[in-house]
Structures are given as structure tokens and as C-alpha cells.
Chain A
Amino acid sequence: GENVEQHPSTLSVQEGDSAVIKCTYSDSASNYFPWYKQELGKRPQLIIDIRSNVGEKKDQRIAVTLNKTAKHFSLHITETQPEDSAVYFCAASPRGSQGNLIFGKGTKLSVKP
């Protein structure tokens, strides 16, 4: 079955710097890759997603890139702000799974003012 690995597990940056979180997946047939942000005690919030027919997608300060050959995808946050501090999860949806998501273990991002 699908396996998603996420790195790093913790990431600390200064306000204004960029942050990059990387995920790898094992099932080459996976075709949908969302990213979620979860603040302490709150629900996971969908922040951006990408499908296998696209290599890059951007939404203001966040972007996601997908390399299907290498089976990895990354989240890029530019000009980080203290409110970006949260746990970020990547996920993959294996083809034929009806959209069930397999999540990574999460990255705790801390943005220091």
C-alpha cells in the first residue's frame, strides 16, 4: 500500500525566511497530493493541493511542487510570519482508493519573530 514519509519533523525559521517541507510517496499510481495546516487544538485545514498532471501550483506565499519521477512533493512557504507556526501534514491519494488520504507524520514549523 501507499506510504508517505515527511521531513523534517521540526523546522524553526526566522520571520521573513522561507520554509520548505518535503514528502516522498511509494505508490507511483498516486495522483492527488494535498497539504494541511493544523494549529494546536484545531482541525486540519486544507491550504493547497496538487494533482499528478501538474508540476507546480502557487497560492500567494505558498507553493507546492511535484516530481512524479522521483515520487516526491514539497511545500514552500515564503516570507514566513509567526501565524504560519503550526503542524503541516502532507498526504497522498492512491489511484483507485476512492480518494482516501494517506498522511505523513507531520512537520512542526516554528516561526520566530
Chain B
Amino acid sequence: DAGVTQSPTHLIKTRGQHVTLRCSPISGHKSVSWYQQVLGQGPQFIFQYYEKEERGRGNFPDRFSARQFPNYSSELNVNALLLGDSALYLCASSWATGDYEQYFGPGTRLTVT
């Protein structure tokens, strides 16, 4: 799992604001997935991107969006923040889409006040 980086580490936002989270996968990995982890729960799948295309989407509202860049890094955007969006946002990197090992980054801790 070494090599997946995320920024920022922590973020505090106010309700209604917008946030952008960033992820860089392990070198050579072409797939990035985003997960939301609420305290005391397992990660919940938000998006998967492979070769810059969305390959999967979890049960999250349209306020959540993402994209992947030509260098395989990715951004997760959340609009109109709600208190319930407070969570640890994890990025996972894998070689390709499909049943390949996913390695997580350290996460971004988002607090919405």
C-alpha cells in the first residue's frame, strides 16, 4: 500500500461549501476508487475510475463527483456540503479495474460544521 498519497490530510468546511480532495495512485496503477468511511463503520464505495472513465458509482447523491487525469491521479468533489458528509475519505489504487488488490491512501479527514 505504500505510494498512494492524498491531500489534504485534514479539512474543515462549513455547510453549503464545496470541497475538492486529491489522490495520486501507486506508480503503474491505472485505477482509482473513492470510499467514504464514517467513524465506526467500514468504508463505503463512492466511485471507481479506470483510464479516465467512470467504471462504477455507489449510492451517493449527485453532489458527489470525481474525475481522473491523464497521469491517473484523481479528484473527488463534493458540493453543497452537509453535516453528514463529515467522514474520512479514502482513495484506493489498483493496477486495473476488476478483482485486483486495492491499496488505500492515508485518507482525508473532512469535518463539516
Contacts and interface: CB of A to CB of B under 8 A. Distances in A.
A12 interface: no
Interface in A45-94: 45-46, 49, 51, 89, 91, 93
Interface stretch (B12-20, B72-80, B101-109): B101-109
Contacts, number: 69
B42 A100 contact: no
Interface string A29-42: 00110101000001
Contact of A44 (B40, B41, B43, B99): B43
Contacts of B100: 99
Interface string B3-41: 010000000000000000000000000010101000011
Contacts of A34: 101-102
Interface of B: 1, 4, 31, 33, 35, 40-45, 48, 50, 55-56, 58, 90, 92, 94, 97-107
Interface of A: 6, 31-32, 34, 36, 42-46, 49, 51, 89, 91, 93, 97-106
